Amino acid sequence: MVAPSPAHASDKRPYVRGGQTVPTYSYADAIHESVWVQTPDDADEDGVPDRVAVDLVRPRTAPGVKVPVIMDASPYYACCGRGNESELKEYDENGVISKEPLFYDNYFVPRGYAFAGVDLTGTNRSTGCEDVGGPHEVAGAKAAIDWLNGRARGFAADGSPVTAKAWTTGKVGMIGKSWDGSIANGVAATGVKGLETIVPISAISSWYDYMRYNGTLRSTDYPNYLQGVVSDRIAECAAVTESLANDSAEDTADYNAFWAARDYRPSASRVHASVFVVHGVNDLNVATPQFAKWWDELADAGVPRKIWLHQTGHVDPFDLRRAEWVDTLHEWFDRWLQGLHNGVDHEPRATIETAPGVFSQARDWPLPGTRNVTAKLGTGVAAYTDQGLSEAAAVTDPGTPVAGRLAFQYGPLTRPLRISGSPSVRLRVRVDQPTTQLTAKLVDYGTAARVQYNRGEGVQTTGTESCWGESTAADDACYFDVTERVATTDYAVLTRGYQDAAHHVSLRLTTPLQPGRWYSITVPVNAYDAIVPAGHTLGLVLTQSDSATEAPDTGATVEVDLARSTLVLPVSGPATLTPTAAKPRTTSGLTGGVRPERERP
């Protein structure tokens, strides 16, 4: 807590005391309202502008008292639910919202905020067409902000006009996990006035990078699959559905105009909202380049920002550090939506989990002073042939030759190694096929207690509950507690990277390789932050096709000039990486790989 400034002391808002918002209004007496906001689009081509459903819960304030809005725009309110307990929206007999998922309304409405749950275009009670991260989705969520600021038209269920000017300041903070947070990124990239902050949790900043790993197809028919999961308006949206199938360049995995329309990073300079990024460094659904590249673009644009990184997977911090998260989020919204100078924006910018349950703060991320350290792979030429290895088969027993991989070791380390940022592997290779997938994995070999992110995303639900805000018979504020899933293991895959060899020149086009010719190809490795303890060994494993992608088992043989190939690590503090016990050899043979089930962002 900070001492209240003179401005705080004279604040006339009844819900502000001592420099912070406090419970003032009865949640049981809150106003529930459902509004349909007109968008600028007609995605379903029915001759009528699309409308997005905006379900509001707001405090019953006195005349003249206005409040800002916390908004979660989501495609999941009817199909799949939100939060660890998969809560859905519920409505009363008149079709007005009676229960919003998650705790935001229960906790913040008594403190002088309104909450808006927005159905993305083409989902639940919104019209239009779901275009999977595209312009229609973004325009629909943006229209809700425009309506709150008097720039768009809103209607009640009976068609009568509805405005918000009597009760809101027009200041909006968007929050959400996964797809919800992705749309928050997209709306912020429009520069819309009134959006003061966003809190993207495990969110996408480039849908190409979500569905294509550097020119490698992650899964077939992914855009249409996601559309079908969240929307029941496929029949009304033939043109959009056809575009998702035909314009996404599945046959080549090229980056094109379709993907550029779903890439928010080039518009980071238009972001006027502050940004509070939260992401798991072991998130295998929305991989870490999604936050890391966005974070770098925001930094270059001078956007006020904060970041939390944790060691679990695709997890909301409410299910990781619940008390600390609610307190910090409360301070963040008070600062950017209420204008209360509580110091949260002057705290260390980064909070990072360095071991199970151990969090530390840093001035920035990557850690200040981080530098790239390069390590040679060895000498001579080694070769490996595509085997479609499982990850366990690829990384186990790195000192033993295994067909289909090259394994390198650095260590045992004489001191802890802090990795902070985006590694890469620079390879000098010769391939006997026009292309193949090049896969790199960094592995920490050594016994330690680790978060088991491959099981339940690294968390498990307990039998106890805790409550966050006020409850009613229709909408309770209590949720099962969640703990990290931790076990002692002999090794852990830290991070992974993929590169289609024929896309090594550009992601916009393929450049087939000529057999017999040497190429320099960089495999970008997903951003990471970790401490590899002294006494452990850092491993680098190279394979080709992988269960995380749809890359075919080509049977390609890749020769690697070890002396002209390097591992590049972003390291904070002293580091010496000397290759040891590397026993690569030429291998051959072919086995089938296991393909993943498709995930939802």
pLDDT digits (tens, 9 = 90+) for 449-473: 999 999 999 999 999 999 999 999 9
Q: Quick one: tokens of 492?
A: 């852990």
Q: Does the pLDDT value for residue 5 go beyond 80?
A: no
Is the separation of the CB atoms in 598 and 222 below 8 Å? yes
pTM, to two decimals = 0.95
Type of residue found at 13: R
| 10 confidence band (pLDDT: 50, 70, 90) | low
> Average pLDDT of 26-31?
98
CA 442 to chain CA centroid, Å, is 21
Q: Does the pLDDT value for residue 583 go beyond 80?
A: no
Type of residue found at 69: V
Q: Mind listing the domains of the chain with CATH numbers?
A: 6-362 (3.40.50.1820), 371-450+489-580 (2.60.120.260)
pLDDT digits (tens, 9 = 90+) for 502-530: 999 999 999 999 999 999 999 999 999 99
Q: Does the pLDDT value for residue 595 go beyond 90?
A: no
pLDDT digits (tens, 9 = 90+) for 107-144: 999 999 999 999 999 999 999 999 999 999 999 999 99
pLDDT digits (tens, 9 = 90+) for 547-572: 999 998 999 999 999 999 999 999 99
> Average pLDDT of 85-95?
97
> How, if at all, do strands 557-561 and 417-421 pair?
unpaired
Q: Does the pLDDT value for residue 258 go beyond 50?
A: yes
The rounded mean pLDDT for the chain is 94
The phi and psi torsions of 223 (rounded to 5 degrees) equal -60, -45
| Active-site annotation, residues | 178, 283, 314
Per-residue pLDDT at 588: 35
Q: Does the pLDDT value for residue 582 go beyond 70?
A: no
Per-residue pLDDT at 573: 86
Measured CA distances, 456 to 335, 354, 480, 530, 539 (Å): 34, 20, 15, 21, 25
Q: How many CB atoms lie within 10 A of CB 506?
A: 11
pLDDT digits (tens, 9 = 90+) for 44-65: 999 999 999 999 999 999 999 9
Per-residue pLDDT at 581: 47
Q: Does the pLDDT value for residue 483 go beyond 70?
A: yes
Angle between helices 179-188 and 135-148 (to 10 degrees): 70
> Average pLDDT of 300-328?
98
Per-residue pLDDT at 575: 82
Q: Does the pLDDT value for residue 596 go beyond 60?
A: no
Widest pairwise Cα distance in the chain: 79
